[in-house]
Amino acid sequence: MPDGPLIVQSDKSLLLEVDHPLAKDARRAIAPFAELERAPEHVHTYRLTPLGLWNARAAGHDAEQVVDALVRYSRYPVPHPLLVDVADTMDRYGRLQLVKHPTHGLVLHALDKPVLEEVLRSKRTKGMVGTRIDDENVAVHPSERGRLKQALVKLGWPAEDLAGYVDGEAHDISLEQDDWHLRPYQEEAVETFWHGGSGVVVLPCGAGKTLVGAGAMARSGTTTLILVTNTVAARQWKDELVRRTSLTEDEIGEYSGTRKDVRPVTIATYQVLTTRRKGTYTHLELLDAHDWGLIVYDEVHLLPAPIFRMTADLQARRRLGLTATLVREDGREDEVFSLIGPKRYDAPWKDIESQGYIAPAECTEVRLTLPDGDRLAYATAEPEERYRLAASAPGKTRVVRQILDKHQGEQTLVIGQYLDQLGELSQALDAPLVTGETTVAERQRLFDGFRAGEIDVLVVSKVANFSIDLPEASLAIQVSGSFGSRQEEAQRLGRLMRPKADGRSAHFYAIVARDTVDQDFAAHRQRFLAEQGYAYTIVDAEDLAAA
DNA sequence: GATGGTGTAA
DNA sequence: TAAGCTACACCATC
């Protein structure tokens, strides 16, 4: 395509011209395998990585489709070596397989003998394999199944795990779909996961990931261990399961700091599993308390490191990871890939939006030029003071007021990172403030007031990241955010996306101080959403006042 | 056995 | 990069 939107470069970066009429189509075509790296105004940079290509491969895309997408939207002839490289990389996935052998148990099976020779000679696989059966097969000790997969990913030869799973203890679970039904994409996610065996389902906030979990549990019909990040999430899982499935309260246990109930379906926090005394994990017995047939990892992008280690030993059990943003700021995506499994299902946010399940959202970055005094203070500040200084620039208060004026009557969350800043905003706007110090009862009272429409504006700190019990809102103004967390930004936007009765859009504003690190971090935070097709309109604070 | 406060880890 | 929040263990109190 001579005037296509995409420029494919031999260093494996893809440049997408955002304003091109075919940019949306191109984005959709490359999304399954390319990762967005930078997303400034006009040209977005994507990158081809082995992991991205392998995920695509595991999801059933073949090299031909990838090559076709690149060639179709590329403005210039695609460098031939790159196409060859894409095909080669994708072809590396699955040349080794983990399979069940009738006599030798778990076996690493090669579709390509030299590859087997190569990986067996590597130091990384030492001690993980046993008897050499023949030139295509080598026995693997079951306890090394996870670590071997990790090693093989690192060696660039990811194995396809076809060895199956223990059945687990049967336990009847069915969805009670009398006055509701799984949405088509949820059904599809459950089926794709089930046939894939283990892996990750990626769905936007508010798209009903819990029901995908419930669907998988019903499909499995076994005892299930659900791991969650916090107690609020644990309670929500329990409520949802009681409401939507045949499970009763008695069949669902909570295993946390305060309660240690193990039931056929047990919901545990990651933390309780990772707590140690004198260097040894104290609650590992939970993993053997039942013959779990399914393990669900909620918010799998937040999986703490020790859970990876434990999960390496759980490879014989089916594993379902759920997340809205399969990006980790610590770069451990490859461990999610090898230990939980590849990405099995991924519905782009915009697709779910176009089906009406989440509200459309308009994102705006408002750039505020600091007054000379503040600029000087910023310029002379110590490096570690700079972000805080820029992020909590006093001028932001005025901008917040202007945005509120523009959107009168919207239920609004003002979200920020620094308690001092939030305190001042709360005073200036005469709006209640909710932080970690706010008692649970007081939070409840304020959220109820907000939900009832008695309170229009709530100023909230990072509590909003954790207690997901937040009420509906249609406007959010972010005055500061933590450094470059993409996942936080996505979550904050996700808060607003419950569909509105009248089909209105949600509005998300990020106020940043121009020419400071605040602006740089904001750009990084926006990346994931840009990848999902959310374009930030950049507005000058002065123009906002005029508009 | 429940509740509340303190210190620590991630 | 730092600040903020949560969950846990432990202990004290009722």
> What's the 3-state SS for A10-46?
CCCEEEEECCCCCHHHHHHHHCCCEEEEECCCCEEEE
Strands A43-48 and A13-17: antiparallel
> How many CA within 13 A on the CB side of residue A111?
13
- The reply to whether A392 has its C-beta less than 7 Å from any atom of strand C is no
| Residue A60 CA, nucleotide C3 C1', distance (Å) | 43
Nucleotide nearest to A257 (CA to C1'): C8
Determine the average pLDDT of the residues in A292-302.
Answer: 96
| Residue A278 CA, nucleotide C11 C1', distance (Å) | 19
Q: Which residues touch strand B (CB under 7 A)?
A: A 258, 274, 276, 304-305
pLDDT over 90 at A306, yes or no: yes
CB neighbour list of residue A359: distance below 8 Å, 6 or more residues apart: A353, A474, A496, A497, A498, A499, A500, A503, A504, A505, A506
pTM for this prediction = 0.93
pLDDT over 70 at A215, yes or no: yes
Which band of pLDDT confidence, cut at 50, 70 and 90, is reported for residue A143? very high
Residues 430-449 of A with CB under 7 A from strand C: 435-437
Q: Is the distance from CB of A191 to CB of A184 less than 8 angstroms? A: no
pLDDT tens, position by position, A354-405: 999 999 999 999 999 999 999 999 999 999 899 999 999 999 999 999 999 9
| Residue A543 CA, nucleotide C3 C1', distance (Å) | 32
Predicted local confidence at residue A314, as pLDDT = 95
d(CA A322, CA A6): 31
- The reply to whether A387 has its C-beta less than 7 Å from any atom of strand C is yes
pLDDT tens, position by position, A493-505: 988 998 888 889 9
pLDDT over 70 at A129, yes or no: yes
User: Is A280 in a helix, a strand, or coil?
Assistant: strand
pLDDT over 90 at A121, yes or no: yes
Determine what percent of chain A is predicted with pLDDT higher than 90.
81
d(CA A117, CA A110): 9
pLDDT tens, position by position, A64-73: 999 999 999 9
| Residue A278 CA, nucleotide C10 C1', distance (Å) | 15
| Residue A329 CA, nucleotide B6 C1', distance (Å) | 32
Predicted local confidence at residue A205, as pLDDT = 87
Determine what percent of chain A is predicted with pLDDT higher than 70.
99
pLDDT over 90 at A530, yes or no: no
Q: Report the nearest residue to nucleotide B9, CA vs C1'.
A: A275
- The reply to whether A516 has its C-beta less than 7 Å from any atom of strand C is no
| Residue A228 CA, nucleotide C11 C1', distance (Å) | 28
Predicted local confidence at residue A547, as pLDDT = 65
- The reply to whether A385 has its C-beta less than 7 Å from any atom of strand C is no
CB neighbour list of residue A480: distance below 8 Å, 6 or more residues apart: A391, A392, A416, A417, A418, A421, A518
- Minimum mean pLDDT range among A193-207, A227-241, A315-329, A459-473: A459-473
pLDDT tens, position by position, A78-109: 999 999 999 999 999 999 999 999 999 999 99
Would you tell me how many other CB atoms lie within 10 Å of the CB of residue A382?
7
d(CA A371, CA A383): 20
pLDDT tens, position by position, A433-483: 999 988 888 888 898 899 899 999 999 999 988 866 666 799 999 999 988
| Residue A444 CA, nucleotide B4 C1', distance (Å) | 19
Scan for tokens 């007054």, then name that residue: A371
Predicted local confidence at residue A331, as pLDDT = 84
User: Is A401 in a helix, a strand, or coil?
Assistant: helix
Predicted local confidence at residue A326, as pLDDT = 84
| Residue A256 CA, nucleotide B7 C1', distance (Å) | 19
Nucleotide nearest to A304 (CA to C1'): B10
